[in-house]
Structure formats: structure tokens, C-alpha cells
Structure 1
Amino acid sequence: MLSLIKNPTTQLSSDIHVDVLAINRIPIVSQLLDVVCRTTGMGFAAIARVTEDQWVTCSVKDSISFGLKPGDELKVETTICHEVRQKNEAILIDDVQKDPQYFDHHTPVIYGIQSYISVPIYRKDGSFFGTLCAIDPKPARIKTPEILGMFKLFADLIAFHLQALDEKNLVIEELKEEKQTAVLREEFIAILGHDLRNPLATTRMSAEILLKVAKDEMTKRQAGIIKSTSFRMEKLIENMLDFARGRLGEGILISPKTDNPSLLKTLEQIIKELQTNSPERELSVNLVLEQPVHCDKNRVGQLFSNLLSNAFSHGDEDTPIFVEAGTRDGIFSLSVTNSGDEIPETALKNLFQPFYRQDHKPGKQGLGLGLYIASEIAKAHNGTLKVSSSKKEINFTFEMPLS
């Protein structure tokens, strides 16, 4: 008659509890244990989580009223599964009374079993999980290659499903993190778009009022500095917004239209604004659009502003900056050329990477996003942004299809 000695421990560790739940989430477990009992003729089959000091039932098929249910625990030292874990090999017993190794073993005596089989289950990383086992109070013929092969196959199937569940749980956790990141992203963009730009607009408006009403030159000069600084801050904020959208959100969005006069007006306005802040700089401008250009004029203007600002900041102050825009052979091109120190080959490879900054004059460094944003705008127009550098000049050229 079968007897049962449960471990008095009433609460499982969180890890063991998770493993028990995982086994019971595998859809084939019930059928698998049923096949084990039908094939072997044994009345009890189970998947057990076995550690150095615990034996816990994960799932069970019991037609002999052995009395275990999922989550129940036996004293591990009273089980043969304990030895399976130690030896890392399967143990099969047809008839305890006739088995020279186990005829006087304490486990059959304690639990009143005559036939027994236990095969180790290993996770895909090689760690020991537990056993697939079966017992019966009567002898059974289980020491056959077919029975052992079936148990090993089932143990591999269980390991496979455990791995699949682990991967699924990992994906779920990653999705949770992505959702949290999305919330932070939206908050970040909202702060940049509203909480920083609004006070900046107020600062610029105040500077413009001072420029109009100030009587002395010192006040006008300081107000002019505040105004030009506000333009620079606005550009930094816009670049950060576009970086956040491009890397964390929906990407650089464009709304292309065909409107050459409006595009020309946008480019001319950008030149006027930058020259207002640096009236001493000489520009040579040639803008001729003889064919329709289908583009987002505001985004192209932003690209141009980033390139021209870069030339103002880092070009030779004693030489002119050349700006050209034109249409030819189905291509719209826009270029900015200035004199300055030759850009090293290693730096040329990284100019369009976010947050990349060369060593420049003090106070002239930005966030390192201007050229990155410009290159992303070029890509959004199915175009290219290229740079060339020599000892004489540095040239940035944007090209895109006219339509």
C-alpha cells in the first residue's frame, strides 16, 4: 500500500512557485503525463522541480490515489529523484524485489512502490530543472530502449517549452519597458516643445522691445545679444525635438508641396536672419530654381539653416560663404561652401552622427545634432547630404529628386 510523507514546509520560494506555474502553462503537459501512464501501465506520473533541498510537484497524473497535487512537497532525501539530480542520469526499476541495486533502498520502503522511472529535465542553458518520473505499487516492464527514449523525448519537449515561456516572459518585460519609455518620450518632447519654447519666445519678444525703445548703445547691444542667443537656443531646442522624434518616436516627418516662390522666400529669410545676427560676415548667394521642386519647404529650410549656421560658426571669418541652389537634370541641389581648417578623414565619417562634435572655438559648440538632423531631413526627401573638405574649402551639398 502506498504511503506519503510530505514536507511540512507550507510556503514555496518565489522561484519554485514560478516554475510550478510555468509547467502548468505548457499545453501538452496533461496529455504527456497521460501517455506516460498508458504506455508504461503505471498509475502515477509527475513532473517535479528538484533542487538540492527541495522536491516539489509541478504537474501530476494520479490514478492510484498517491495524494500529490501541484505545489506539494516531499522531503527530497526520501526520493530517488534526489539521486537522479546528483548522478545526472536516469534511473529505471522494473521490480524492486528483483533489482540488485534498489531491493533494500529506503524510497520504495517509505512509499510502498515496486516500479519506478525518473529521467532528468535540463533547461536549454544546461542547468538541472527536475525530473519526469512515474511510480506504481506493482512491477512494470519499463527497462526498454523504447520507454527510456520516450521519457528522454518528453523531457526535451518540456525543456523546449520552458525555454519558450522564458523567452515570452522576456518579451513581455521588454514591452513593458518600451511602454514606459514611450511615456517618458512623450513627456520629454512635451517639455521641449512647450515648457522651453514658450519662455524663450517671451525672452525674444522682450529683447525686441528693448531694441526699439532703448536710447543708449550699451542697452541696444545687450538686447541684440539676448535676441541672437534666443535664436540659437530655439535652434538647439528644435534639433533636440527632431532627434527625440527621429530616434524615439515617429521619425522625421515631411509634408512636401510644389511651391518654388515659397521655397525661395524661406531660404532668403534664413539668410536674412543669420546675417542680422552676424552682419560682419560676407555671403555670396546664387538661388535659381528654373524647375518645380516638390519638397517640404520648412524642412529644407531647417536643413539649410543648420548648414549655414555651421558655416557661420566654424568657417573662416575673413572669407565669404558661398550659397547656391539650383535645379538641373531632375535634381534640386543646395550647397554651402566656406573656407576653414580641413576636416580630418576620421571626423568626416562621423559628422552626421548624433552628438558628434569636433574641437572648435570656445563658445561655438552646439549639441552636435545640427548635421545629424540635416542628414535625416535629406533622407526623408529621398535625397543625400554629402560633405567634402580640402585645405581651401569645406562644402556641404544636399541633393534630391525634383519630384
Structure 2
Amino acid sequence: MKNKNAPGEGPPKDPAIEAETDALAQLVDAIFRRMPQALAAVVASPASGPWRAIAARGRQESSFAAGQSLEQPENAWMRELGEPAIDPPPPENGALRLRQPITLRDGSFFGNLCLVASRADSVADAGLRDAAGVFAELAALLIAQSRRSAEAEARLGNEAAAAEQRERFVAVLAHDLRTPLSTVRALGETLSIAPERANLPRIAKILLAAVARMASLIDGVLDLARARLGGGITMRWQSCPDLAERLSQVVEEVREARPGQQIDSQIRIARAIDCDPTRLQQLLGNLLDNALTHGARDRPVSIVAETSESELEIRVANEGAELDQETRERIFEPFWRPKGAKRPDGLGLGLFIVEHIATRHGGSIRVDSKDGSTIFVFSMPVSRA
């Protein structure tokens, strides 16, 4: 029979703690089956904060319950540290109170195994103390085993999630590369048989766009690998006096690519910034792409970039449906997309890379979504000094 927490305590949320609790509950059950003289058995521990009964059994309704606090003065004997001790019997009931420390394999103190038993004689009491020592050692073994099991399950879960993520990544990458590759192949075949050269400029422009799309996908994969393996994405630091011009160039390129979309831009940077300007262009481009993809098509997207005495701040906002809590919490994860996303394909690396660019600049990125508007705010120091 499993001991549950006392009302109001709630079940443990950590699977490892829950496994420990179940194992220790089975231990105190076993103590009661093997030791008929036991009146109460409690595993007392401060592992999760104040001292409480991790597991408990008693033969009376007023006995200890799993989950209850042990901070009361009458339970002080359960909270004492050091060598095991047999307390003198209380004169009113003649019961024996015994405390045995539970020491884990790494030498750390977990808590005490506390027993209240009927007093018999000195021989029986000594035997009870020896048994308590054995049960305390068994408790340490059960805790270690439950923790190993929980860690193994967590690793298996992480590996399964990683495997699923890798499969999805490969499938999406193959899908996204297929389209520009098909374009390059079709135009190459056209060039091989076309006698006239009048369409060469148009064909060249389409070819370059397809190659740029493939290069962008490959760069995203490389940035993902650099962010997760080794020293993070590559950075080329410099003092950049023309960052405003570089960011304005990104905005103009996006406007040209999406002529029907209103993009309002206010870029006020009148000083040199210690940064990797190419990475900040990438950051702004990714934020703009996200805003244009997920925002309302008939509403403007706004960009504001400005400096204070010590910080550069870039804000990108769009109007449209507000982000729910799960999306706000997971939006910077790679490959993750909210249900009903407007663009179900794609690698889903844009905002993940944005967060890493922000971190590498010693800055931060956050998202706020309310009143029909979503805004991403990036900030960083203007100087590395």
C-alpha cells in the first residue's frame, strides 16, 4: 500500500522525488510487516525544505502521516543529527523512541528513520536498534536506486525527443532544399536549350534567389551546430560606426521582397557600437521575417532601433493574434512551432538563432504579447569595455 501526502500538501511534481517517496513508503510498510512491536515508523527529512515525513505508518489514528510537517517541538527528537540514539521512554506510555540516520552513498545526510515501538527488555531493544540500522541502510539503497531509475527514464525521454527532433529536422531540411534545387535544375535545363539570350537577366535573378535560399538554409544548420556544439555561433567583433545604415539596408531588402506590406522604420543610432554587424543584420532580418509571417497582413510592422548612454535596443512589433503562454515560453526553441502556425514548413531556427546572437552580444531578447500586438525587444551593451 502506498502512502500519499497529507491533504493540502499535493503529490510531488518531480518524478525523481515521487519515485523516492514511493520506495520509502514501501519500506515503512515492510517495517510494519516485519516488526509487530512497531507503533509508528517515519522517514523524516529536510530534503525539500522544512523537516517533514517523507513516508509514515502508524497503528493509531493519531499517528504520523506522510507529508506532514515535523517542525513541532514534540517532534524535535526526529530532527536531531549525529549518532543514532535510543531516547528514554516517555513515562506515560513506556514506548521506545529510536532514531537512525540515513546516509547516502556520497556521504550526504538525507534524513532519519524514526521508530516508536513497544518496550520489551534490553535485549529486544538492542535487536530493534540493529534492525533499524539495517532498514536505514536499505532506505539509502532504495533512494539511490530510485534516483538512478528516474535519471535513466529522463535520459531515455530526452533521447527519444532528440531522435524525433532530428528526424523532423532532416525531413524539413530536405523539403525546403528541394524547392530551390528544382528551380535551379529547371532554369539550367532552360538555358541548355534556349537559343535566345533575352531572358538571361531574369533567369539569373531567379537563380541567384534560389541559391540564396539554399545558402540561408545551410547557414541556419551551421549556426544551429555552432550554438549547440563548442563555443557558440561565430562572432566577428568590431567597432561599427555605420550600424544604422546596415540595419536600414536590411529593412529596404525586406520591403523590396514584400512590396505590399507596410513596414515602418525608425533607426536612430548615432554612435559606434561594439558588435558583429553582420550578426545584428541577421537578427533584425529574422525578427522581421517572423513578424511578417505571423502578423496580420493588412497591418504594419514597425521597427525601432535606438541607443541610450549604455545600451542599444531594437524593437520589432506586429499586430495580430496574441501569443498564448506556451508559445511565449517556447518560442525561442529550435524546430518548435505553435499549433496552427501560418508556416508549417521551414526549419524553425530563426528565433533560436536570434536568441543566441543576443546572448553572444552580452544582451537579451524577450517577447511581449498583449492587446493584439506582439513585440520582440533586443537589448545589448553599446561597448564591450
Could you state the TM-score of these two structures normalised by the residue count of structure 1?
Answer: 0.45
Could you state the TM-score of these two structures normalised by the residue count of structure 2?
Answer: 0.47
